[in-house]
Amino acid sequence: MSEGPAPLSRLTAELSQLPGIGRRTAQRLAFHILRSDEADARSLAEAIVEVKQKVGLCEICFNLSEGPLCRICEDHSRDETLICVVEEPADVIPIERTHEYRGRYHVLGGALSPIDGIDEGDLRIAELRHRVAAGGISEVILATNPTTTGEATAMHIADLIRSQTIVTRLASGLPVGADLEHADEVTLGKAMAGRQVLS
């Protein structure tokens, strides 16, 4: 059975590779793009190219950035003595939405997962240790996801740096097994406000 012209099939195949987009949704999106006027389609294509060309990682915290530093590391009103450690850049966004946290971040780039071949060398743990060892850090908040790999990563980091600074973990309120990017602001805000020291 034909799936239409080859360019439409290719667009559907490319869209279906996006996370959370199945074949049927990809097909609906492809037909939407086909029906939209050329200016809208070109604008979408240019936005995709622009994000790939202009967005990189912050030299300090590894959050997404359009220049050498992200907007948070450039903001001198933020508390430089606090570091909130997250797995991915997407995890920074929901924490920022709570308006409960005014420190800096450190993005690991994932979580420890030996079964998937991800060990300490694959994450930015060495860079975090360097930031803490440089001094001036009063607290490191471990905000890795409340999953098995996130918990293992938090415990590993806590063991490495707790002799140099206070290490806390987000308080209960986050459902176990959920990702930060799916948590609502109230739940995440309470978890941030009620964080506890890891012993």
Please calculate the CA angle 85-71-142 and round it to the nearest 5 degrees: 10
Which pLDDT belongs to residue 111? Answer: 96
Tell me whether strands 166-169 and 139-142 are parallel, antiparallel or unpaired.
Answer: parallel
What is the per-residue pLDDT across 176-193, written as a single tens digit (0 to 9) for each? 677 777 777 767 876 787
Please say whether the beta carbons of 131 and 105 come within 8 A: no
- Which residue segments constitute the domains of the chain, with CATH numbers given? 6-54 (1.10.8.420), 68-197 (3.40.1360.10)
Among 111, 106, 99, residue whose Cα is nearest residue 192: 99
Give how far Cα 96 sits from Cα of 16, 118, 185, Å. Answer: 30, 27, 9
pLDDT tens across the length of the chain (199 residues): 346 788 999 999 999 999 999 999 999 999 999 999 999 999 999 999 999 999 999 999 999 999 999 999 999 999 999 999 999 999 999 999 999 999 999 999 999 998 999 999 999 999 999 999 999 999 999 999 988 899 899 999 999 999 999 999 987 666 667 777 777 776 787 678 777 787 6
Task: State the Cα–Cα distance between residues 118 and 190, nearest whole angstrom.
Answer: 31
3-class secondary structure, 133: helix
What is the per-residue pLDDT across 144-158, written as a single tens digit (0 to 9) for each? 998 889 989 999 999
What is the per-residue pLDDT across 37-48, written as a single tens digit (0 to 9) for each? 999 999 999 999
> Radius of gyration (Cα) for the chain, nearest Å?
20
Task: State the Cα–Cα distance between residues 131 and 39, nearest whole angstrom.
Answer: 46
Looking at the DSSP assignment, which residues form a beta bridge with residue 56? 65
Q: Taking the mean position of all CA atoms in its chain, how far away is CA 83? A: 15
146: phi then psi, degrees, rounded to nearest 5: -80, 55
